[in-house]
Chains A and B, each alone.
Chain A
Amino acid sequence: MRPHVTLLDEALLARITGEAITLLGETGARVQAPAAQALLADHGATVADGIARFPEPMLRAALATAPPRFHLYDRAGAPAVEYGGERSHFDPGSSCVNVLDPDTRAQRPAMAADLVRLVQVAEGLPAYAAQSTAMVCDEIPQEIADLYRLFLVLWYSGKPVVTGAFSAGTTRAMLALLEAECGGAAALRARPRAVFDVCPVPPLLWSDYAGESLILLARAGVPAEIVSVPLAGATAPVTLAGAVVQHTAECLAGLAIHQHAAPGAPVVWGGAPAIFDMRTGNAPMGAIETAMLNAACSQVGRSFGLPTHGYLCGSDAKVVDAQAGLETGMAALTGVLAGISMISGAGMLDFLACHSAEKLVLDAEAIAFAQRFGRGIEARGESLALAMFARTGRSGEFLKLKETRNLFREEQYLPSPVIDRASLRGWQDAGALDAFARARARADQLVAEYRRPALAPEREAAMLTLMRAEAARVGLTTLPGT
Chain B
Amino acid sequence: MHEELFAAMRQSVIDGDPDEVRVLAQRALALGIDPLEAINRGFVPGVTHVGEQFGLGEMFLPDLVLGGEAMKAAVAVLEPELARRGAQRESLGTVVLGTVRGDIHEIGKTLVQTMLSASGFQVHDLGVDVPVERFVGAVRELKPHVVGMSALLTTTMPGQRLVIEALEREGLRQQVKVIVGGAPVSQGWATEIGADGYGEDAMRAVTLVKALLGREAPAA
Contacts and interface: CB of A to CB of B under 8 A. Distances in A.
A60 B62 CA distance: 37
Contacts of B184: 97, 353
Q: Is the interface of B mostly helix, strand, loop or mixed?
A: loop
24 contacts: A95-B155, A96-B154, A97-B154, A97-B157, A97-B184, A136-B155, A142-B155, A146-B155, A201-B104, A207-B104, A234-B107, A276-B61, A278-B62, A279-B60, A279-B61, A280-B201, A281-B61, A281-B108, A281-B111, A281-B202, A282-B183, A283-B183, A351-B183, A353-B154
A235 B104 CA distance: 12
Contacts of A145: 155
Given A142-B158, A231-B107, 6 more contacts: A95-B154, A95-B155, A233-B62, A279-B57, A281-B108, A281-B111
A166 interface: yes
Contacts of A282: 183
Contacts of A207: 104
Contacts of B157: 97
A278 B154 CA distance: 22
A235 B128 CA distance: 15
The size class of the interface chain A forms with chain B is 20 to 34
A136 B60 CA distance: 33
A207 B62 CA distance: 27
Contacts of A235: 107
A25 B111 CA distance: 31
Interface string A275-298: 010111111000000000000000
B54 to A, nearest CB: 8
A235 B62 CA distance: 13
Nearest to A351: B183
A166 B101 CA distance: 13
Which 8 interchain pairs have the tightest Cβ spacing?
A: A278-B60, A97-B154, A278-B61, A234-B107, A353-B184, A166-B155, A142-B158, A136-B154
Contacts of A201: 104
Contacts of A231: 107
Nearest to B158: A142
Contacts of B108: 281
A142 B201 CA distance: 27
B74 to A, nearest CB: 24
B94 to A, nearest CB: 25
B23 to A, nearest CB: 27
A281 B152 CA distance: 11
A136 B155 CA distance: 8
